Amino acid sequence: MKVRKYYSLIGILALSLLAACSNQALKDNSMQADVTGIEKYKAYQKQYKEPTKITLSHATGHVGTYFFTHWKDGGSASLDMDLEGNFEVEWEGGGYNYVGGPGWHYGDRDRVIGFRFDEDAGANYLTLYGWGYDKTMPKDDPAHLVEYYILQRWTHHPSKSGTLGVEFMSNGTKYTTYRTIRTEKPSINSTSTFYQYWSVPEEPYKLGTEEKIIFADHVKAWEQSGWIIPDMNNFDASDDPTYQVMAIEVFNPPADGKANGQVWEAK
């Protein structure tokens, strides 16, 4: 009887070990699947498994399971990220544009984004930022390619050059939508003419507080504004996937600065 129990115990331990190895393999395969297809982009970098500082002019990739974008057309700016979605952008003053931050390599209408901004030393936008692209639509229709912003803090308001959409409530906050157009500008699909969709809250969010964005509410409001929503989950564009990130953007910064925070997928 004791021998039988001994061998039973060995069997249980062996099965537990096999299950643990299988679960780890599934995780590894899942993580690998997350980047399948992104390798086609010339700016794509390998998946980093440690906290990483990005300084290249144009880079996309993953730090752990978090996708990142890091783009600038000059000047000096860097993106620091860790495996938990914490990030910091530092920039030097100058005549250039920068946008970067962590998130996901595709947009998901049903995603709820959790975030917190801890420091903001002069960024133009602290924002949920992403793209949609539909290669089946005519290229002369600006709606075939959309750059979207759900602002949390800002120094430049899109109402100055945008078309007013609708007001709506999301997660207890009143937002207003706007649409602007960019003519022959850099994008995830080479130089293109495309729309920008904006959601702007009544007041900027405070630093140091945990917040969330219910993305479906914003997509619905853009649709109610009469605007077409292109595909936000594809690898069809030429330069980057249709990513969705919590981004920091600066343009022509008058001085050095930095901003930081954390992003995660909320419930």
Three-state secondary-structure class, residue 102: strand
Least Cα distance to 119 among 83, 86, 85 occurs for: 86
Residue 147: active-site member: yes
- Do residues 131 and 105 make contact, with C-beta atoms less than 8 angstroms apart? no
Other CB atoms within 10 A of residue 13 CB: 10
Phi, psi of 205 (to 5 degrees): -70, 150
CA–CA separation, 267 vs 265, rounded Å? 7
CA–CA separation, 106 vs 87, rounded Å? 19
- Do residues 226 and 104 make contact, with C-beta atoms less than 8 angstroms apart? no
Q: Which of 147, 202, 211, 265 is catalytic?
A: 147
Residue 249: active-site member: yes
DSSP string computed for 141-164: SGGGEEEEEEEEEESS-GGGTSEE
Residues with active-site annotation: 147, 249
